[in-house]
Amino acid sequence: MLDYAPSTNSPMLTFLDARCRKEDLTIDHSRILFRRVRLRERISGMLHYAESNNVCRGNIIQQYFGENPEARCGNCDYCRQRNKLLLNDIEFNELKKKVKTTLLKPMTFDTLLQKAGLMDNAKVVMGLQFMLDNNIIITNPQNEIEWNDN
């Protein structure tokens, strides 16, 4: 049997295989939903990486891939800033913990030093300045210091 199609200038589509019947087409809705959820997770992971400025970026990547980082990388932008401090990691983490547990409500710099039992020395001031610069702690309009939960 011969199937003749006269020539035309309109666009034409030639199916090389037999077309699938509508009844045989299936759409896996659960798979689409799964892929949508995964896409959202990946996007939020990227945003977290891009927007974080108070965590080691190497650690963010490790956590994204399900690893539990033991130490910061020392090379990312956060770590390079952190390396300039007079405080080592143990001292800094101790200071951060003291500040966090003390800052249950906003307070002035002096009250924070007093309540947290911190000395007004170069190390502490530098550590607090670093926390301010990296939005770990923030100042409110009343010029009080607050712990930044974001």
Angle (CA) 2 5 10, round 5°: 165
Is 76 a residue that touches Zn ion (CB under 5 A)? yes
* Identified binder of Zn ion from the candidate list 45, 54, 79, 148, rule CB under 5 A: 79
Q: Which of 55, 56, 131, 137 binds Zn ion (CB under 5 A)?
A: 56
Stretch that binds Zn ion, among 8-16, 24-32, 71-79, 112-120 (CB under 5 A): 71-79
Give the position of tokens 């939960």: 149
Contacts of 72 (CB under 8 A, 6+ apart): 56, 58, 59, 78, 79, 82, 89
Stretch that binds Zn ion, among 12-20, 26-34, 43-51, 77-85 (CB under 5 A): 77-85
The distance of closest approach from Cβ of residue 113 to Zn ion in the complex, given in angstroms and rounded to an integer, is 28
